[in-house]
Amino acid sequence: MQVRIAHAFWDTAGILKEYLFTWSLWKQDEKSEIKMAASPGGDEDSVFDAGRLSLFDLILERTRAQNKKQLVHRLVYVSKIRQDVSDRKEIGGGYLVLKVFKELQTQVHGEAVTGLLLIYPVHIIHVVETSYNMLLKVIKELEEDEQSASGMLLNTKLLVCTGDLNNRLFGQWSFRTLNLAVSRMQEFTTNEPIDIVVTEALTLIIKLAEYLAKLPKISLTNTMDQLPEKVPDLLVRQDLIEYTLGSQDLNTPSQYLKRYTTPVDITLESGKAT
pLDDT of residue 71: 73
Side-chain-side CA neighbours of residue 52 (13 Å): 17
pLDDT of residue 4: 39
Indicate the domain borders of the chain.
72-258
**Residue 72 to residue 163: CA distance in whole angstroms:** 6
pTM of the complete model beyond 0.75: no
Of 96, 162, 80, the residue nearest 129 (C-alpha): 162
Three-class SS state of 78: strand
Report whether 91 contacts 85 (CB < 8 A): yes
What single letter denotes the amino acid at residue 40?
Answer: P
4, containing H or E segment: helix 2-7
Of 109, 200, 192, 104, the residue nearest 144 (C-alpha): 104
Report whether 112 contacts 61 (CB < 8 A): no
Per-residue b/e over 41-64, b at no fewer than 16 CB within 10 Å? eeeeeebeeeebbbbbebbbeebe
As its CATH architecture, domain 72-258 has 2-Layer Sandwich (3.30)
Classify strands 72-81 and 153-165 as parallel, antiparallel or unpaired. antiparallel
pLDDT of residue 116: 94
Block mean pLDDT (10 aa), the chain, length 274: 38 45 44 39 45 66 56 92 88 67 62 89 94 87 88 94 87 90 71 92 96 92 93 94 94 91 63 53
- Residues 26-69 pLDDT 10s: 444 444 433 433 334 444 444 445 556 676 666 666 665 554 45
pLDDT of residue 100: 64
